[in-house]
Amino acid sequence: MKRLIALLAAVSLIAAATYAISGSIVGTPHDFSGGYGGTDLGSDQICVYCHTPHNPVKAVPLWNRINQSHYVFEFYKTSATLTTATKASGFNSGSVSLFCMNCHDGQTALGSIKNPGVDSNNNTIVMDTSTVIRSTYGDILTTDLTNSHPVGFNYASAASQDATLAAKATVESKLKTANVGGVIFFNDDANNTGDMMECASCHKVHDNEYTKFLRISNVGSNLCFACHIK
């Protein structure tokens, strides 16, 4: 019996370690398979609320949400201490942050997707197209991003103009933890290849290990120090 308990403890330790290495979207606030705030949104799948395997609205990243560039956004760029690179903030049709704003604008219904797919009877799934994100936790940012951390600019250019910003490669090494890997700065449709600072530079949409979908823990402002030399 003792041995069994020890074995179970070891197994659960391994399970806990595995979880720490790779967080999952399952059960996070981005998992709508069980509905949202008590409303069934239509599909009991998870990825479908953002991605589709075929015929997407936007090829990268196989994006399934409609109205992606529907709204005009305002940005944090009046601050006198910003670099000219940051003051040039804006979104074009390839801006990764638009993917977030397609729900966090507070206007687009969570179930507004292009390809809902079919149910087990081969009937097209009917999506709820009225429920929007609720404001309770400050999760609605609106289209006015003048009071949010700057996004939608070329990080490499900003860093070349401001000595208190860490070099792009340094930031990448600090934010690419074992459970994220991948990309910290993004492409857009204006030939900014791999340099754009977006919502997903700080957040990882599929993994809520550190809460608020943060890339790394922000204890001691760890996240902020990845870029800001202060």
Interface contacts to ligand HEC, rule CB under 6 A: 25, 29-30, 36, 46-47, 49-51, 61, 79, 81-83, 86, 96-97, 99-100, 102-104, 110, 133-134, 136-139, 141, 145, 148-151, 155, 158, 162, 165, 171, 182, 197, 199-203, 205-206, 208, 211-214, 218, 221, 223-224, 226-228
Least CB distance to ligand HEC at residue 13 (A): 26
- Calculate the alpha carbon distances from 138 to 70, 105, 141 in Å: 22, 11, 7
Least CB distance to ligand HEC at residue 107 (A): 12
Least CB distance to ligand HEC at residue 164 (A): 7
Which is closer to ligand HEC, CB of 11 or CB of 228?
A: 228
Characterize 153-188 residue by residue with b for buried, 16 or more Cβ atoms within 10 angstroms of its Cβ, and e for exposed. bbbbbbbeeeeebbebeebbebbeeebbeeebbbbb
What is the rounded CA–CA span in Å between residue 230 and residue 147? 21
Which is closer to ligand HEC, CB of 20 or CB of 60?
A: 60
What is the rounded CA–CA span in Å between residue 156 and residue 70? 28
Least CB distance to ligand HEC at residue 115 (A): 14
Six-digit token string for 206: 């599929």
Sign, Cα dihedral of 68, 74, 77, 79: negative
- Calculate the alpha carbon distances from 200 to 58, 76, 100, 208, 212 in Å: 17, 17, 9, 13, 12
- Going by C-alpha positions, the residue among 204, 225, 222 that lies closest to residue 213 is 204
Which is closer to ligand HEC, CB of 10 or CB of 159?
A: 159
- Going by C-alpha positions, the residue among 172, 188, 170, 191 that lies closest to residue 180 is 172
Which is closer to ligand HEC, CB of 38 or CB of 120?
A: 38
Which is closer to ligand HEC, CB of 127 or CB of 197?
A: 197
Least CB distance to ligand HEC at residue 230 (A): 9
Which is closer to ligand HEC, CB of 34 or CB of 61?
A: 61
Least CB distance to ligand HEC at residue 83 (A): 4
